[in-house]
A and B are shown apart, each in its own frame.
Chain A
């Protein structure tokens, strides 16, 4: 299997607070990896370190054989290869739905407007938002915003999609529509790295589940193994807490 992103000895400190300690894991091409763990365990920070929204304090992030933490590396070009979906959607308020999905393509990938709109429409259809191209973000519901955000990231045609708790800010009834889109994407063979609290979703969709606690990876393996037969005591505690709610 082709290694797409390899993380080695990654650490991140905020002041004296050590949020990530010696993290190492690999995302292979076509794989869906779910990162689970309680709040404050460093999952989101890890994901944000992967696309350098947070600057890691140490370690290496190797993307297609190159360490992108080298000073020379063009982080802007690297980021276009990673699609990011945020918990708070972060749609651009000054653009309508179509504009949100085309601005990156036009300004960063230098695609023509016609081509960008064609690509955007293709992915807006995938997420079922193609009828809403004239709407402004403030006119959409949370679930709709998040689906547009997914289309915006897909429109850049990235190698990996990063999801940072994509359903945590949504009403329960809107979680379903977003998870459905993500399920379809996973089935289409897209490489995905997902931070989530949706255990059922992780169990169904993930090829691999990573459990994090207090800034370290405690356990990693198939969903079957991590979620049903965890080896580590801490994983068992976490699962019993979340599943018994």
Chain B
């Protein structure tokens, strides 16, 4: 009975579900990427070593203060409330009407940015001081040290946390229904409202959410493995004068000759 109902809902509304899921993915992918970029920039700025004196120190202190306020504010308030404040606030208080999709991406991005900048800062702090020193000893300045040595390691190390953020974004875009962004939750709610059938549409939405998050985590895991490179390495140079029998066999097989003996 219920299975039939789920099937019926699915058959009748699959384009809407798909469009909703597509919107959810679209907002969360773009926001995760933008948020990660914000996080990287903010995290790097917050770990610049404080100069001992002078104008630069004052500027850096002010910038750090603003960035801390940004992080604390967006981490400390619910995204749903921020969405209301930013979307309706911009229209009612300042008379600027922004596109709700733009507002959605903006809100999720700066939220992700606030979390990511702390993740990035943690990543930078956890890099061994020796890596910085070795880079400095080769004559690299702060920017070269960061771009060539530190950040590649940081990005590798924060990938799992970034995956977390991505998954959270896929799920949390559902709160954007308060500003009527037609993402998966909003679409499901409309379907349920139109048909007066509640649990089957949400069950389908549930599965769709899971499929999206699971796919994303798997893809990121593959990406991590790719960055790590192979577990083993090959010695170079011809210290091996004679090819081993198994190499000969493999070579012949690859050439399609079959077993050589």
A93 interface hit (Cβ, 8 Å): yes
- Bound: A99/B139 CA distance, A: 16
A193 to chain B, nearest CB (A): 13
- Bound: A82/B133 CA distance, A: 13
Q: Which of A107, A130, A153 is the most central at the interface, judged by chain B CB atoms within 10 Å of its CB?
A: A107
A132 interface hit (Cβ, 8 Å): yes
Of the 9-residue stretches A133-141, A173-181, A206-214, A221-229, which lies at the interface with chain B? A133-141
Contact B237 A76 (CB under 8 A): no
Given known pairs A86-B130, A92-B131, the reply for A104 and B138 (CB within 8 Å) is yes
B194 interface hit (Cβ, 8 Å): no
B99 interface hit (Cβ, 8 Å): no
Contacts of A77 in B (CB 8 A): 139
Given known pairs A131-B237, A134-B236, the reply for A93 and B139 (CB within 8 Å) is no
Q: Of B138, B156, B235, B237, which contacts A79 at CB under 8 A?
A: B138
Of the 9-residue stretches B3-11, B147-155, B217-225, which lies at the interface with chain A? B147-155
Encode B108-139 as 1/0 by CB contact (under 8 A) with A: 00000000000000000000101101111111
Given known pairs A79-B138, A90-B128, A156-B138, the reply for A134 and B149 (CB within 8 Å) is no
Contact A108 B233 (CB under 8 A): no
Given known pairs A103-B148, A133-B236, the reply for A88 and B130 (CB within 8 Å) is yes
A53 interface hit (Cβ, 8 Å): yes
Among residues of A, the one whose C-beta sits closest to the C-beta of B145 is: A107
Contacts of A135 in B (CB 8 A): 233
Q: Which of B30-54 contact A (CB under 8 A)?
A: none
Contacts of B239 in A (CB 8 A): 131
B226 to chain A, nearest CB (A): 14
- We find that the number of chain A residues with CB closer than 8 angstroms to chain B is 36
A91 interface hit (Cβ, 8 Å): yes
- We find that the number of chain B residues with CB closer than 8 angstroms to chain A is 26
Q: Of A51, A91, A134, A139, which contacts B137 at CB under 8 A?
A: A51
Q: Which of B138, B149, B237 is the most central at the interface, judged by chain A CB atoms within 10 Å of its CB?
A: B138
Contacts of B236 in A (CB 8 A): 130-134
B141 interface hit (Cβ, 8 Å): yes
B57 interface hit (Cβ, 8 Å): no
Contacts of B140 in A (CB 8 A): 76, 104, 107-108
A94 interface hit (Cβ, 8 Å): yes
Among residues of A, the one whose C-beta sits closest to the C-beta of B235 is: A131
- Bound: A135/B138 CA distance, A: 21
Q: Which of A88, A92, A139 is the most central at the interface, judged by chain B CB atoms within 10 Å of its CB?
A: A92
B255 interface hit (Cβ, 8 Å): no
Contacts of A89 in B (CB 8 A): 130
A68 to chain B, nearest CB (A): 13
Contact A104 B139 (CB under 8 A): yes
Contacts of A131 in B (CB 8 A): 235-237, 239
Q: Of B141, B148, B152, which contacts A76 at CB under 8 A?
A: B141
Encode A116-135 as 1/0 by CB contact (under 8 A) with B: 00000000000000111111
Q: Of A53, A91, A108, which contacts B133 at CB under 8 A?
A: A53
Contact B137 A94 (CB under 8 A): no
B144 interface hit (Cβ, 8 Å): yes
- Bound: A161/B229 CA distance, A: 32
Q: Of A90, A92, A108, which contacts B144 at CB under 8 A?
A: A108
- Bound: A77/B141 CA distance, A: 10
Contacts of B138 in A (CB 8 A): 79-80, 103-104, 108, 152-153, 156
Contact B134 A91 (CB under 8 A): yes
Q: Which of B130, B134, B135, B236 is the most central at the interface, judged by chain A CB atoms within 10 Å of its CB?
A: B134
- Bound: A130/B149 CA distance, A: 22
- Bound: A130/B156 CA distance, A: 27
B234 interface hit (Cβ, 8 Å): yes
Query: Given known contacts A51-B137, A94-B149, A156-B139, what 18 new A-B pairs fall within 8 Å (CB)?
Result: A77-B139, A80-B138, A82-B137, A84-B134, A86-B137, A90-B133, A92-B149, A93-B131, A94-B153, A104-B138, A104-B139, A107-B140, A108-B138, A108-B139, A131-B236, A136-B233, A139-B233, A149-B134
What 4 A-B pairs are tightest by C-beta distance, nearest first? A104-B138, A90-B130, A80-B139, A84-B137
Q: Which residues of B contact A (CB under 8 A)?
A: 128, 130-131, 133-141, 144, 148-149, 152-153, 156, 229, 232-237, 239
What are 18 A-B interface contacts by the 8 Å CB criterion? A51-B137, A53-B136, A79-B136, A80-B138, A80-B139, A89-B130, A90-B130, A90-B131, A94-B149, A104-B140, A107-B148, A108-B139, A130-B236, A131-B236, A131-B239, A133-B236, A156-B138, A156-B139
